[in-house]
Structure 1
Amino acid sequence: MIKTVIFDMDGVIVDTEPVHRYSYYKQFSELDIDVSEEMYTSFTGFSTRNTFQALKGFFPTIEQEVEDLIQRKRNIFNDAFDTKEDLYLLEGVHDLIKDLYASGIQLILASSASKVTIERVFTRFKLHPYFTDIVSGEDFPQSKPDPAIFLHAASLSVAPKENCIVIEDSTNGVKAAKAANLLCIGYNSHHSKLQDLSTADFIINDFKELNAEKISQFGT
């Protein structure tokens, strides 16, 4: 029986991807680099640090230090986030979160996003009361598909890892969950284009397909 649900954030709880995309491509233009759609998609699930580390390998013309690149991207993102009015939780996820919480299922966030971004999202949508723990990818040297973030999240669970399940929407996120030997629900939303969720244990297209009772029975 599932006792803990580990949520990804971007693309699962809130779609900040358009804001991230705007921020990255504005910065790519400033850096005068041409990042293809295929390359950009391959970074889904990466932390900002790992993204720029990879980009510096692809583009030797980038002279700035990774920390400076991170700060510039963060500044662009924060400005865009604060002025973007059409930013909403993904359809059905708030009801699912409330249902899980009311049913006594522990909720943990494990997101590649920075602590600053997570805090902005959680404050804006008043999510803090529902989650016992928040884990940010910036605390780990490697991004998903490395399993470290999910292994740590599972270690914070009130139950053994076999009683935990991850909700992810990206190729790298699903790979990370499975590498951590955790059950995984792949959320195949219209925001998940070009993502391979085939190795997930369960795949949904809408959060209306889930509720606390159904999730608690997964893995039994």
Structure 2
Amino acid sequence: MIKTVIFDMDGVIVDTEPVHHYAYHQHFKHLNIDVTQEMYASFTGNSTKNVYQRLKETFDILDEVEDLVQKKRSLFNDAFDEKEDLDLLPGVRELIVDLHSNGIQLILASSASKVTIERVFNRFGLHKYFTHIVSGEDFPKSKPHPAIFEHAASLSVAPKEECIVIEDSTNGIKAAKGAGIYCVGYMSENSHLQELAEADMVINHFNDLNAEKVKALK
């Protein structure tokens, strides 16, 4: 029986991708670099630090990675605070509340920075539902490397065979499967450039899941 659900955040709980897209592309203009749509899509599931490490190598950027990260985060934070229509994805709050009220442990494992996670969790009152928050900034390698999910599973009240991951990205699903954890792929409106075929099951809406169905998975 499934006892723990490990959630990704961006694209699963909240869609901050438009805010990230704006912040990144404002910064790309400032750096005078041409990042293709395909290259940008490949960043999904990567930490900001790893994105800028790749960009620095690709475009021979002279700035230090940490300075690049801080500039992008500053742009993101300003845009995040100004975006009044930012909301949780349809049905996810109801699923979180249902899982929590039925005794299923919830853990967050997101590539986002701790600062960004805190902004989202504080804005939407999510802390009370999750026992642990794991940020990708604590790991040298981003998804698809499985380290973040291996660590999240180690925090579970149950063995990883009784955990599932909910992910919306190719890299996230590869990371979950690499960690040996059952993965539910969420096909959101923003997942059209992501390949979810490796997921154990794919849903199009969070109404497709509830505590009873989750407990019975596998």
Provide the rounded CA distance (Å) in 2 between the counterparts of 1:74 and 1:205: 30
- In the alignment, is residue 130 of structure 1 matched against residue 129 of structure 2? yes
Give the deviation of 1:167 after TM superposition.
Answer: 0.0
Once the two structures are superposed, what CA deviation does each residue of 1:7-36 show, in whole Å capped at 9, x if it has no partner?
A: 000000000000000000000000000000
Provide the rounded CA distance (Å) in 1 between the counterparts of 2:70 and 2:160: 35
Provide the rounded CA distance (Å) in 1 between the counterparts of 2:62 and 2:198: 38
Which residue matches 1:88? 87
Q: TM-score, normalised by structure 2?
A: 1.00
- Counting only pairs closer than 5 Å after superposition, residues 141-220 of structure 1 correspond to structure 2 as 141-219=140-218
Once the two structures are superposed, what CA deviation does each residue of 1:25-48 show, in whole Å capped at 9, x if it has no partner?
A: 000000000000000000100000
Number of aligned positions between the proteins? 218
Q: Secondary structure at the match of 1:71?
A: helix
Amino acid at match of 1:155: S
> How high is the sequence identity, in percent, across the aligned residues?
70
Give the deviation of 1:52 after TM superposition.
Answer: 0.2
What RMSD over aligned residues (CA atoms) do the two structures have, in Å?
0.4
Which residue matches 1:32? 32
Give the deviation of 1:155 after TM superposition.
Answer: 0.1
Return 5+ residue gaps in structure 2 as ranges: none
Which residue matches 2:105? 106
Give the deviation of 1:209 after TM superposition.
Answer: 0.4
Once the two structures are superposed, what CA deviation does each residue of 1:96-118 show, in whole Å capped at 9, x if it has no partner?
A: 00000000000000000000000
Q: Secondary structure at the match of 1:43?
A: coil
Q: Secondary structure at the match of 1:184?
A: strand
Once the two structures are superposed, what CA deviation does each residue of 1:158-216 show, in whole Å capped at 9, x if it has no partner?
A: 00000000000000000000000000000011111210000000100000000000011
Once the two structures are superposed, what CA deviation does each residue of 1:133-158 show, in whole Å capped at 9, x if it has no partner?
A: 00000000000000000000000000
Give the deviation of 1:57 after TM superposition.
Answer: 1.2
Return 5+ residue gaps in structure 1 as ranges: none
- In the alignment, is residue 56 of structure 1 matched against residue 68 of structure 2? no
Amino acid at match of 1:59: F
Amino acid at match of 2:13: I
Provide the rounded CA distance (Å) in 1 between the counterparts of 2:152 and 2:90: 25
Which residue matches 1:17? 17
Amino acid at match of 2:90: E
Once the two structures are superposed, what CA deviation does each residue of 1:41-70 show, in whole Å capped at 9, x if it has no partner?
A: 00100000000001111101x110000000
Q: Secondary structure at the match of 1:91?
A: coil
Q: Secondary structure at the match of 1:145?
A: coil
Q: Secondary structure at the match of 1:152?
A: helix
Which residue matches 1:46? 46
Q: Secondary structure at the match of 1:77?
A: helix
Amino acid at match of 2:192: K
Q: Secondary structure at the match of 1:89?
A: coil
Q: Secondary structure at the match of 1:122?
A: helix
Amino acid at match of 1:126: G
Q: Secondary structure at the match of 2:175?
A: helix
